[in-house]
């Protein structure tokens, strides 16, 4: 009874938050919005992995690439990127990037419309609430943990798959684990890719 009275008499505490601090949890909504983007990237790049476990690595970067639109008119491109890791309960994680092109520039290159190199080269992009946002999946050669399709992996729509946690040898398990070096290599790959994207655009403008 005494404790109940203490609870009743307790004052409610309130801490004022800055207007730029988000106090509500929108993670479910955010993940739902990005989910379609992941599916689009998987289909385009022919890479399959589940999204049962889909989390941020905690690594986020903003890239700036400077180019001259004209000799006396420099222009700066800005890209936001977040490294994510996803996979099923019986899969090893696969890395992918959430990307945002922050300026309303035309990033697609007409040269690639008949044979698009990246998902933003598509002539008709899927409708989405994220108009300038894309997902891109780093390839295996830069450290991402995906395996080429073989007799154990079925699915005509995909060529690459996440490692499956079944009957794997110790050596295979070691190969399937993401290391700090793998993450670093993927960031370097993304940086080079964005630089190429800007160069291609300006070559097209020229």
Instruction: Please report whether residue 9 resides in a domain.
Output: no
Residue 18 belongs to some domain of the structure: no
- 22 occurs within a structural domain: no
Letter string b/e over residues 47-81, b meaning 16 or more CB atoms within 10 A of that residue's CB: bbbebeebeeeeeeeebebeeeeeeeeeeebebbb
Give residue 159's domain range. 30-205
Residue 73 in this model has a pLDDT that exceeds 80:
no
In a domain, 37, yes or no: yes
Residue 83's pLDDT is 97
- Encode pLDDT of 95-110 as tens digits: 999 999 887 555 555 6
Q: Is residue 165 part of a domain?
A: yes
Provide the number of structural domains found in the chain: 1
The answer to whether residue 11 sits within a structural domain is no
Q: Is residue 5 part of a domain?
A: no
Q: What is the mean pLDDT of residues 18-27?
A: 85
Sign for the CA dihedral angle at 124, 120, 137, 126 comes to negative
Asked if the structure places residue 170 within a domain, the reply is yes
């Amino acid at each position: 009874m005494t404790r109940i009275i203490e609870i009743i008499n307790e004052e409610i505490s309130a801490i004022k938050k800055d207007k730029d601090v988000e106090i509500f949890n929108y993670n479910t909504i955010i993940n739902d919005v990005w989910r379609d983007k992941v599916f689009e990237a998987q289909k385009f790049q022919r890479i399959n992995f589940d999204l049962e476990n889909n989390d941020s690595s905690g690594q986020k970067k903003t890239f700036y690439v400077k180019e001259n639109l004209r000799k006396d008119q420099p222009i700066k491109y800005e890209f936001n990127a977040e490294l994510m890791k996803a996979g099923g309960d019986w899969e090893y994680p696969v890395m992918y990037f959430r990307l945002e092109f922050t300026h309303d520039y035309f990033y697609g290159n007409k040269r690639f419309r008949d044979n698009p190199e990246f998902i933003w080269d598509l002539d008709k992009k899927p409708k989405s609430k994220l108009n300038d946002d894309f997902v891109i999946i780093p390839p295996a050669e830069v450290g991402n943990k995906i395996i080429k399709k073989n007799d154990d992996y079925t699915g005509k729509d995909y060529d690459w798959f996440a490692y499956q946690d079944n009957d794997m040898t110790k050596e295979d398990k070691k190969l399937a684990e993401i290391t700090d070096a793998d993450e670093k290599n993927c960031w370097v790959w993304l940086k080079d890719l964005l630089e190429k994207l800007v160069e291609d655009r300006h070559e097209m403008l020229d």
